Amino acid sequence: MELDSNSSLYPLHRSKTLHLVRHAQGIHNVIGDKDYKAYLSPEYFDAELTRLGWQQVENLRKHVHQCGLAKKIDVVITSPLLRTMQTAVGVFGGEDYPETVDALPLMLANVGNSGRSAISSLNCPPILAVELCREHLGVHPCDRRRSISEYQCLFPSIDFSLIESDEDVLWKPNVRETKEELASRGKKFLNWLWTRKEKEIAIVTHSGFLFHTLATFGSDCHPFVKKEINKHFANCELRSMVIVDKSMLGSDSSITNYPGRIPSGADVPSDAVVNEELANDKPVSGWQVFKSGLLDVTALAAIGSISCFLIFNSYMEKGKEEITRNS
């Protein structure tokens, strides 16, 4: 395939890999898929996973371990609802919790009448609960969360420190968040991710949140790519995507970039000499800077009175002298 105007190139350190996961099947999904009005029933308050949902969790867990993804994840971000946290710990958490260890489990046994064993917090990435990636807020009881103090008892090793209110003050019984408000919250969430140092992030969230957030992307892509980005997520579906910071919002420095240096010779000052002269505001010739391999923003700022043209002109003149001397 030939590169064309549709191709883009960005520095690696200005990107993050996001592994997006919709929660597994919840009890509200079973009836809600048949009758949308069922989502209004208080019976499905903070809905838990079904038996099929837990089987979906097991299948995805096997996949992320077999493909090597489990070892790459730096942090797992989860919506603080029962079904998303069950999915997060089931897919990305440790093995069954051994009662002989001192570490607290990620999830206690039988949370949400799951019949599941407790899940260990050992040998797995940290899991952080964040309100910004919750489902559509308001009206539907299934999207209302419990108190954080109750969750902390059920999920002792999930980090809830970023949630300010113990009770759910975001969910309103008579006001449903608009699609535009949800998409705006999704953008705010993605911007927040740039404040994190982690590069590979798993996000366990909801269908509506994913759909309306991702719908704001893809307009500059081929229609097939846009469709891949914008389509609805199935229960326990995983899609990996790369997000790029083109605005300097993120400030991560590269861990793989390497500033090349020209080896010092008999007539070439070492890096240390040039650095010392720059630090002491001593005049430094363009030739010294060029041959030392220090032609970067810092050097140009230090010799601001010398233009790039003069630096390279100095280089050419010095090069001619060397050629004449060595002839």
Give the model confidence (pLDDT) of 39-94 as tens digits.
Answer: 999 999 999 999 999 999 999 999 999 999 999 999 999 999 999 999 999 999 99
**Contact of 63 with 238, CB cutoff 8 Å:** yes
Q: Which residue is catalytic, options 48, 131, 135, 198?
A: 135
Nearest to 154 by CA among 173, 129, 178, 187: 129
Confidence of residue 165 (pLDDT cuts 50, 70, 90): very high
Q: pLDDT-based confidence at 306, cuts 50/70/90?
A: very low
Per-residue confidence at 267, pLDDT binned at 50, 70, 90?
low
State the catalytic residue, choosing from 23, 136, 140, 206.
23
Confidence of residue 192 (pLDDT cuts 50, 70, 90): very high
Is residue 237 helix, strand or coil? coil
CB neighbours of residue 294 within 10 Å: 21
pLDDT tens digit string along 198-246? 999 999 999 999 999 999 998 888 889 999 999 999 999 999 999 998 7
In contact, 125 and 75? CB cutoff 8 Å: yes
> Can you tell me the distance from the alpha carbon of 75 to that of 77, in angstroms, rounded to the nearest whole number?
6
Whether 23 is catalytic is: yes
- Residue 267: count of CB within 10 angstroms of its CB: 10
Active site (annotated) includes residue 167: no
The Cα 51–Cα 54 span in angstroms is 5
Name the segment(s) of the chain with CATH classification 3.40.50.1240: 12-244
The region that residue 288 occupies, defined by phi over 0 for left and psi between -120 and 50 for alpha, beta otherwise, is: alpha
Q: Is the pLDDT of residue 109 over 90?
A: yes
- Compute the CA torsion angle 140, 75, 57, 169 (nearest 10 deg): -10
Q: How far apart are CA 241 and CA 230, in angstroms?
A: 12
Q: Which residues contact 180 (CB under 8 A, 6 or more apart)?
A: none
Report residue 183 as tokens: 């998409």
Q: What integer best gives the mean pLDDT of the chain?
A: 85
pLDDT at 106 over 90: yes
The superfamily (CATH) of domain 12-244 is Phosphoglycerate mutase-like (3.40.50.1240)
Both ends of the chain: CA-CA distance in Å?
A: 48
pLDDT band for 305, please (50, 70, 90 cuts): very low
Please tell me the predicted confidence (pLDDT) of residue 133. Answer: 98
117, two tokens: 């064993």
What mean pLDDT is predicted for residues 118-144? 96
Percent of the chain predicted with pLDDT > 90:
62
